[in-house]
């Protein structure tokens, strides 16, 4: 592992706290050293309290923040001398400890200090870094871990047998340090590494040095022994079960919505599929079925991956039978996993305080499927990806530990204590409240500009994962970039999507499944307009209008409805209609007739799908000019039909409404948001007008 320390950058830090942030970010930016949200670092400083009295303070990472993006405010200062008061105690419950530490905070509103705060206090060293590096865990999680650690680190690092983080662990480390003040750090069995020193550079340097030594040892061991042979598939070198890549893709498209349905029993989840070479090597290995069930590489990984993944057992089958068989096996084994989790919870729940005996979501967060890869779930795609990344580190630890010796982990009981540890679960409670459309996936067609773009923006703002479908790729990419930047999220996705082409529609929906696992709503918006009196209307223009305004809605809705029914989690379709459906205008025959077909399509969809919990509604806007490609093309000819100059068209529309007001894309977006939201949960087959009030177009 390379040191990222840059003397010039370090020299720019004006005090110890800035140096702490600097090195914390270095540690956080190396995933083999520290996974998302993991690890903690500290420094000891002298500062003034609220009365201006000088006091010693320990600044330590707060619970729930991530080292990579940490800032000074993520390191709450705690009165060191008060923390040291409890060293003489023999025991202290977690609740007592948290309560005690909260009283030692120098800034009462600071985040809760890491649960390892006492450990950092009890070691009288200015700078301390605690990490869960893959290479270190590869050693601590083997049967002979202690022996190997001695071989690599001699007595530079002290070995501490496994004990759950908290007061007891802190005390043991503190005592070990007092007996061996020359030690450079400790190795925590089945947990991680702690390195310390008189300054930031030393503690960071030692962390890197110790991890590098472990890596070197592992590299040498790996050369001697090859593991993870893909023998699950081979019998005398012949693959017994293997799918072509097209079959793998099709299996995922078929299975992901069913998996999403299963995993969403308590709350909807978003799915992420990982198929990196490392993941495939592991899931395809004969040993994976056993090794993956041994337990977590470190308690630090468990908050997101849970104790064990689901390893899907596949019966040996010839390629052409494998896919449907596997699909059923995955779904039934997810249920078996949840049942097992219930038994595990019942077995150990007595270890929890009586007010905290609530079972967590029993469904797996990580699913390993031989021949396919790994599927992870989360409240959004970002979280599903973080879980995948963390489990990839677990895989690396299992692989290295198996190279050295036999991979070992916490006992089931020890794992339960961490799995359900309120102090660790507290981190999850720090997540901000979920937005209205969090955990939802949707498609907005015709989203590159105008109304479609405004709708997509609004729904992403409210937490949804939104695929923006359009055929104008440049404008589409610009819209996606804009929305992601403005919402500081990566929940907008560009999707080349031609509503008139069944193949493009099918492929688009498949991409959504592969990327997020399913779908929850469709906003069918793509449309075009043509102006001409009917006696002068070309057949070609009539057909073009119908291809987009009628068939386009049909193709998109058909594909999405099929998926929604298969996924069986309900859903929403919203059709962007027009005032013309109820009150057509002259020279607008092709547009009005084709949009009327759309409206009739929406009504029939509402009738057919109510029993599946799928709601279908329409929004009828009128005269929405802003950022509109439609008005750019037809504006002048509409003005001509009304016998007014082009530049007066906007005012004309505004004045013909009852409220004499301009209708904006955002107004339509708000209406769509209402129709997708829980607030309209009993509404289907409805038309919501967004036209400033046009009495001829009142729905009746």
Site for Zn ion in 416-445 (CB under 5 A): none
Candidate segments 191-199, 352-360, 502-510, 633-641, binder of Zn ion by CB under 5 A: 191-199
Minimum Å gap between C-beta 75 and Zn ion is 17
Site for Zn ion in 377-416 (CB under 5 A): none
What is the rounded distance in angstroms from the CA atom of residue 64 to the CA atom of residue 112? 9
Q: Which residues of 467-498 are buried (b: 16+ CB within 10 A; e: fewer)?
A: bbbbbeeebbeebbeebeeeeebebbbbbebb
Task: Indicate the residue among 192 and 623 with the shorter CB distance to Zn ion.
Answer: 192
Query: From the candidates 591, 642, 652, 653, which is the catalytic residue?
Result: 591
Strands of 622-673 (E only): list them: none
What is the rounded distance in angstroms from the CA atom of residue 322 to the CA atom of residue 324? 6
Candidate segments 184-192, 310-318, 508-516, 523-531, binder of Zn ion by CB under 5 A: 184-192
Site for Zn ion in 563-602 (CB under 5 A): none
Task: Indicate the residue among 166 and 370 with the shorter CB distance to Zn ion.
Answer: 166
Task: Indicate the residue among 192 and 589 with the shorter CB distance to Zn ion.
Answer: 192
Minimum Å gap between C-beta 565 and Zn ion is 46
Task: Indicate the residue among 98 and 519 with the shorter CB distance to Zn ion.
Answer: 98
284 — alpha (psi -120 to 50), left (phi > 0) or beta? alpha
Q: Which residues of 598-625 are buried (b: 16+ CB within 10 A; e: fewer)?
A: bbebbbebbeebeeeebbbbbbbbbbbb
User: Is 391 known to be catalytic?
Assistant: no
What is the rounded distance in angstroms from the CA atom of residue 684 to the CA atom of residue 617? 6
On whether the CB atoms of residues 484 and 491 are closer than 8 A, the answer is yes
Torsion of CA 362, 368, 370, 374, to 10 degrees: 140
- CA 579 vs CA 105, 374, 647, 668, 694: distances in Å: 61, 48, 21, 13, 8
Candidate segments 10-18, 190-198, 257-265, 623-631, binder of Zn ion by CB under 5 A: 190-198
Strand order in the sheet with 157-160: 77-79, 54-60, 40-48, 127-131, 192-197, 185-188, 157-160
Task: Indicate the residue among 145 and 192 with the shorter CB distance to Zn ion.
Answer: 192
Candidate segments 192-200, 466-474, 516-524, 683-691, binder of Zn ion by CB under 5 A: 192-200
Task: Indicate the residue among 300 and 520 with the shorter CB distance to Zn ion.
Answer: 300
Minimum Å gap between C-beta 191 and Zn ion is 6
Best CA proximity match to 395, nearest among 3, 30, 31: 31
Minimum Å gap between C-beta 119 and Zn ion is 9
Minimum Å gap between C-beta 165 and Zn ion is 6
Per-residue x/- mask for Zn ion, residues 597 to 626, rule CB under 5 A? ------------------------------
Task: Indicate the residue among 186 and 243 with the shorter CB distance to Zn ion.
Answer: 186
On whether the CB atoms of residues 35 and 389 are closer than 8 A, the answer is yes
How many residues touch Zn ion under the rule CB under 5 A: the total is: 1
DSSP type of residue 490 = S
Best CA proximity match to 566, nearest among 327, 361, 314, 273: 327
Which residue lies nearest Zn ion, judged by its C-beta? 192
Candidate segments 77-85, 117-125, 185-193, 285-293, binder of Zn ion by CB under 5 A: 185-193
Minimum Å gap between C-beta 132 and Zn ion is 6
Minimum Å gap between C-beta 61 and Zn ion is 11
Q: Which two tokens stand for residue 647?
A: 């530049």
Q: Which residues are catalytic?
A: 591
Residues that bind Zn ion (CB under 5 A): 192
């Amino acid at each position: 592992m390379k040191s990222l320390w840059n003397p010039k950058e370090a020299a720019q830090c004006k005090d110890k706290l800035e140096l702490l942030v600097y090195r914390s970010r270095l540690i956080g930016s190396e995933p083999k050293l520290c996974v998302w949200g993991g690890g903690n670092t500290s420094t000891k400083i002298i500062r003034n309290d609220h009365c201006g009295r000088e006091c010693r303070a320990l600044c330590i990472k707060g619970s729930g923040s991530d080292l990579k993006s940490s800032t000074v405010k993520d390191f709450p200062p705690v009165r060191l001398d008060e923390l040291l008061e409890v060293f003489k105690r023999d025991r202290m419950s977690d609740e007592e400890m948290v309560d005690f530490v909260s009283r030692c905070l120098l800034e009462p509103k600071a985040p809760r200090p890491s649960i390892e705060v006492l450990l950092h206090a009890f070691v009288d060293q200015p700078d301390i870094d605690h990490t869960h590096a893959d290479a270190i865990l590869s050693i601590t999680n083997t049967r002979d871990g202690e022996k190997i650690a001695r071989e690599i680190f001699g007595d530079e690092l002290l070995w501490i047998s496994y004990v759950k983080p908290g007061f007891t662990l802190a005390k043991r480390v503190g005592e070990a340090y007092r007996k061996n003040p020359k030690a450079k750090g400790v190795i925590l069995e089945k947990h991680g590494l702690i390195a310390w020193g008189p300054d930031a550079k030393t503690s960071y340097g030692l962390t890197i040095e110790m991890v590098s030594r472990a890596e070197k040892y592992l590299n040498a061991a790996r050369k001697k022994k090859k593991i993870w042979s893909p023998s699950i598939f081979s019998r005398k070198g012949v693959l017994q079960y293997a799918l072509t890549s097209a079959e793998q893709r099709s299996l995922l498209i078929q299975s992901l919505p069913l998996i999403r349905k299963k995993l969403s029993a308590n709350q909807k989840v978003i799915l992420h599929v990982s198929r990196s070479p490392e993941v495939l090597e592991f899931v395809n290995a004969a040993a994976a079925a056993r090794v993956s069930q041994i337990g977590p590489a470190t308690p630090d990984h468990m908050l997101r991956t849970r104790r064990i993944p689901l390893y899907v057992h596949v019966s040996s089958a010839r390629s052409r039978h494998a896919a449907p068989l596997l699909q059923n096996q995955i779904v039934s084994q997810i249920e078996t996993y949840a049942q097992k989790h219930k038994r595990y919870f019942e077995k150990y729940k007595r270890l929890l305080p009586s007010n905290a005996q609530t079972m967590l979501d029993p469904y797996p967060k990580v699913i390993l499927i031989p021949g396919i890869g790994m599927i992870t779930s989360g409240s959004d795609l970002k979280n599903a990806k973080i879980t995948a990344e963390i489990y990839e580190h677990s895989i690396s630890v299992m692989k290295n530990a198996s190279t050295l010796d036999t991979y070992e982990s916490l006992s089931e009981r020890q794992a339960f204590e961490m799995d359900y540890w309120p102090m660790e679960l507290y981190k999850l409670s720090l997540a901000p409240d979920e937005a209205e459309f969090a955990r939802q996936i949707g498609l907005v067609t015709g989203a590159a500009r105008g109304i479609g773009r405004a709708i997509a923006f609004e729904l992403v703002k409210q937490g949804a994962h939104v695929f923006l479908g359009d055929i104008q790729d440049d404008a589409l990419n610009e819209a996606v970039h804009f929305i992601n930047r403005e919402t500081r999220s990566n929940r907008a996705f560009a999707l080349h999507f031609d509503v008139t082409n069944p193949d493009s529609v099918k492929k688009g929906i498949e991409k959504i499944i592969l990327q997020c696992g399913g779908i929850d709503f469709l906003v069918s918006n793509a449309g075009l307009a043509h102006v001409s009196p009917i006696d002068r209307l070309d057949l070609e223009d009539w057909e073009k209008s119908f291809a987009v305004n009628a068939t386009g809605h049909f193709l998109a809705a058909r594909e999405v409805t099929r998926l929604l029914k298969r996924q069986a989690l309900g859903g929403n379709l919203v059709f962007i209609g027009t005032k013309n459906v109820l009150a057509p205008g002259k020279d607008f025959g092709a547009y009005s007739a084709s949009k009327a077909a759309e409206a009739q399509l929406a009504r029939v969809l509402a009738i057919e799908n109510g029993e599946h919990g799928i709601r279908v509604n329409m929004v009828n806007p009128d005269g929405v000019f802003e950022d509109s490609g439609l008005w750019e093309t037809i504006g002048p000819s509409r003005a001509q039909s009304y016998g007014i100059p082009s530049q007066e068209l906007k005012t004309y529309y505004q004045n013909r409404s009852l409220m004499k007001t301009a209708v904006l894309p955002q107004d339509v977006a708000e209406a769509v948001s209402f129709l997708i939201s829980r607030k309209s949960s009993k509404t289907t087959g409805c038309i919501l007008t967004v036209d400033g009030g046009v009495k001829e177009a009142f729905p009746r």
